[in-house]
Amino acid sequence: MRLLPGLHAGKEKPLSPPTLHAAIGATAAALLGAGVILGVFGPGIVPPWHTGWMLSGRLGPDPVQYWLGWTFFRDAPWGMPPGISPNFGMELSSSIFYADAIPLLAFLFKALRGVVEIGQYWGLWLVACGALQGWLAWRLIGRWTEAPLPRLAGAMLFVLQPMLLNRLGGHFALGAHFLLLWGLWFVLEGAGRWRWTALVLAASLIHSYLLPMVLGLWAADWWRRRNWTEAAMVLSAGLIGLWAAGFFLLRAGHGGQMYGAMQLDLLAPFDPAYWGRFLPDLPDPAHLEVASSYPGLGALLLLPFLAWLRPGWRHVPLLVVLLAMLAFAITHRPSIGGSQITLLPLPVRVVEWLGALRASERFFWPVAYAAMLGGLAGLVRLCGPRWSGLVLAALLTVQAADLRPGVARLAYFFPPMPAEVPLRLSDPFWAEAATRYRAIRAVPAANQGVAWEEVAVFAAHHRMATDAIYLARSDGRRVAALRADVAARLAEGRPEPGVLYVLRDAESLALAQAGLRPGRDRIVEANGLHVLAPDWW
């Protein structure tokens, strides 16, 4: 398969100056993109005071993590770096970056605190992702045709897209696929240093998986100029964004041995899994990224038109970058229909380093979008604007029909919900404890340990610090040190003043009972959790 988006499908048209018709078309693409998202996920996600859909548990733990990361960050004073969040984790705390809470928006809305109170901004974010995806696809398709029908129908193929909708269904920050389209647009147009600097800075403040993808696209464009001043500016922007978001606060725990365990199966682009209606479900490697690389039947039917592209030497750097991303997604352990082989043994240190981007299948996204663009360009060259518009409208219809099972599945996870949901820790004990204590620990300390969700949500509502966390990465050495310190305090009857202890296991309960100070401390069971309440009496 030749993935040569932007290669001369005849002669590329220069971007025309803004006109009323162009503005109307771009606005329509953005509105239709937003409409697709609202149609799939429902309007109830949008109001900033609606948090019930995130905290109900219907979507799993990740949206709860995002809300907690934002809530603790919002209520904490500004620090250095700006993304530091000391109360979500206490000794295990890191930053807004590791809560996957979109630092770019967290900074904005924290700065506006006092002017506007935002309970959650992810509903607005999902709609914005759809709007930007539609608008940028419209702009990209305009390189080959200015006719409105192929541009709008083609743009909606990029929005009604399982790769995008799958991420917006739970991994909200990773739904910023518009960054990839923006990067492809810059490569094809030949953007300057300032636009690339702004895009890389934005990517560094949205999600770390998208940042290397955007940097790869920048490298493809930069190679034509090889301007070292530009390289310094762009790379510095990425580092500054990571620093501001708090990436460097964590000194360990980034890697692991997971690279090659969540790779792109070679059949994945053709495997509809739970998304597609028409193609058969194929064997897969059964990891967490399965079903995230199927582009939909309508998009797949674009690929044969890649044969009508004409290669150009100026696009070779882009092709090299896309092939490199494809190789990274497949990893050194290729999988075909779930059967894996180790093609190239890698040193343990290399695997650990690459483990920072362990969900490598995601690096297929830029390749897939480039292939769709290339197929669309080939279609326009073969059929012309009028017929290509009709073909794309038909493909969009096929796409919508094919994705009905996947969209129905998303609707199950996004039902109408009340604006708020009650706290799970509902025993009267908790309400009284919130007036007596400044912090709440979960013992033994762990990342995503037992009862982390209900304890952390309780703490956030009452503005208490907590070490009951779920973070994208954590430092195992810090966790071990905290466990040892708290265990010693409990056993020796030296609890911290103003700290409540949730005892997660029998060993912690035994330690607390051994160090209990009669007449001062209390051990109580509330909502199925054992709790040590120091100085209760």
pLDDT at residue 192, as a whole number:
87
- Tell me: cis bond preceding 280? Omega within 30 of 0 counts: no
Map residue 422 onto helix, strand or coil: coil
pLDDT digits (tens, 9 = 90+) for 112-164: 998 998 999 999 999 999 999 999 999 999 999 999 999 999 999 999 999 99
What gap in Å lies between CA 3 and CA 367, rounded to an integer? 7
The CB-side HSE value for 418 (13 A sphere, CA atoms) comes to: 5
- Tell me: cis bond preceding 81? Omega within 30 of 0 counts: yes
pLDDT over 80 (residue 485): yes
Cβ count within 10 A of residue 332: 18
Q: Please provide the DSSP assignment of 27-81 as one string.
A: HHHHHHHHHHHHHHH-GGG-STT--HHHHSSTT-HHHHHHHHHHHHHHHSPP-SS
Which runs of E-coded beta strand occur in 95-244?
Answer: none
The tokens describing 484, both together, are: 């040892």
Query: Phi and psi at residue 8, in whole multiples of 5°?
Result: -60, 105
Q: Please provide the DSSP assignment of 445-476 as one string.
A: --BT-TTHHHHHHHHHHTT-EE--B--SS--H
pLDDT at residue 8, as a whole number:
45
pLDDT at residue 441, as a whole number:
97
pLDDT at residue 18, as a whole number:
57
Which is it for the CA torsion 112, 117, 122, 124, positive or negative? negative
* Averaged pLDDT of the chain: 93
Using 50, 70 and 90 to split pLDDT, how confident is the model at 352?
confident
What gap in Å lies between CA 7 and CA 10, rounded to an integer? 9
Nearest to 527 by CA among 420, 436, 447, 455: 455
Map residue 134 onto helix, strand or coil: helix
Q: Classify each residue of 431-443 as buried b or exposed e, where b means 16 or more C-beta atoms within 10 Å of its C-beta.
A: eebbeebebbbbb
pLDDT at residue 9, as a whole number:
44
Name every residue whose Cβ is closer than 8 Å to that of residue 508 and which is 6 or more positions away in sequence. 443, 444, 487, 490, 501
Instruction: Express as a percent the part of the chain with pLDDT over 70.
Output: 96
CA distances from 255 to 213, 324, 356, 364 (A): 18, 21, 4, 21
CA distances from 184 to 189, 360, 382 (A): 8, 20, 22
Q: What is the mean pLDDT of residues 182-197?
A: 94
DSSP class of 364: G
The tokens describing 192, both together, are: 């300057």
Which is it for the CA torsion 95, 216, 335, 159, positive or negative? positive
Q: Classify each residue of 447-472 as buried b or exposed e, where b means 16 or more C-beta atoms within 10 Å of its C-beta.
A: bebebbbbbbbbbbebebbbbbbbbb
Which is more confident, 105 or 93?
A: 105
User: One-letter amino acid identity for 296?
Assistant: G
pLDDT digits (tens, 9 = 90+) for 405-462: 999 999 999 999 999 999 999 999 999 999 999 999 999 999 999 999 999 999 999 9
Contact 158, 366 (CB under 8 A): no
Instruction: Express as a percent the part of the chain with pLDDT over 90.
Output: 85
Using 50, 70 and 90 to split pLDDT, how confident is the model at 17?
low
Map residue 256 onto helix, strand or coil: coil
What gap in Å lies between CA 31 and CA 137, rounded to an integer? 13
Name every residue whose Cβ is closer than 8 Å to that of residue 429 and which is 6 or more positions away in sequence. 524, 526, 531
User: One-letter amino acid identity for 525?
Assistant: E
